[in-house]
Amino acid sequence: MNEAKIHLRPLRTTDIEAIMQLHRELGWNPAFHADGSTLRSRLTTLTEEENALLLVAELNGDVAGYVHGEIVTYLLFAGREMLVSELFVTEAARGRGVGTALMAAMEAEAVKRRCFRISVLNSRERESYKRGFYPSLGYEERVHTANFTKRLDWGESN
């Protein structure tokens, strides 16, 4: 079988339409403005942050997925952690190594940046969780750790 080669590169502002389409395909972020202004603003902010890493995977020149990670420094732990908060792959590209390639790139960057650990936020409702994607890459679910969130209102639309 002639499988397309996966090309990884930094996410660019010119990828906004493809990323928005991927979000729509997966039913995410309906609050984004249709013109891409919300996503463009967030992307501009993230690309200026030293500890943010955004990568795109292309198949045949088309965006097939992306990953977003942030490096977090802790007072308690002796080192930094790469926290992967977003990994999205188009329906058509699933099972073709795109997610695996994106995670391998994040792991390599975490090692390069001297992180002691990499962790992933993944909803138990997502298909990737149900089919055991992250455990297949060697990740272990932290069953004794709860993840709590609280929405904050800082006076602007987020």
Q: What is the pLDDT of residue 80?
A: 93
Is position 44 within any domain?
no
Q: Read off the pLDDT of each residue in 151-155 and give the average, rounded to a whole number.
A: 78
Beta bridge partners of 54: 68
Q: What is the pLDDT of residue 57?
A: 98
Bigger pLDDT: 147 vs 113: 113
> Tens digits of per-residue pLDDT, 74-132?
888 878 999 999 999 999 999 999 999 999 999 999 999 999 999 998 888 888 899 99
Asked if 137 contacts 103 with a C-beta cutoff of 8 angstroms, the reply is yes
Is position 69 within any domain?
yes
Q: How many domains is the chain built from?
A: 1
Is position 31 within any domain?
no
| Matching residue, tokens 């390599």 | 108
How many CB atoms are located within 10 Å of the residue 133 CB?
20
C-alpha atoms less than 13 angstroms from C-alpha of 66 in its C-beta half-sphere: 24
Asked if 54 contacts 11 with a C-beta cutoff of 8 angstroms, the reply is yes
Domain span at residue 120?
6-10+53-136
The enclosing domain of 129 has a CATH number of: 3.40.630.30
Q: Read off the pLDDT of each residue in 55-68 and give the average, rounded to a whole number.
A: 96
Q: What is the pLDDT of residue 158?
A: 47
Q: Read off the pLDDT of each residue in 46-70 and give the average, rounded to a whole number.
A: 93
Which tokens belong to 6? 């996966």
**pTM exceeding the 0.75 threshold for the entire prediction:** yes
- DSSP letter string over the chain? --PPPEEEEE--GGGHHHHHHHHHHHT--TTS-TTSHHHHHHHHHHHT-TTEEEEEEEETTEEEEEEEEEEEE-SSSSSEEEEEEEEEE-GGGTTTTHHHHHHHHHHHHHHHTTEEEEEE---TTSHHHHTTHHHHTT----TT----------SS--
Is position 141 within any domain?
no
Is the pLDDT score of 156 beyond 70?
no
Q: Read off the pLDDT of each residue in 54-69 and give the average, rounded to a whole number.
A: 95
Bigger pLDDT: 36 vs 70: 70
Q: What is the pLDDT of residue 1?
A: 45
**Percentage of residues of the chain with pLDDT beyond 70:** 90
What is the residue-averaged pLDDT of the chain?
87
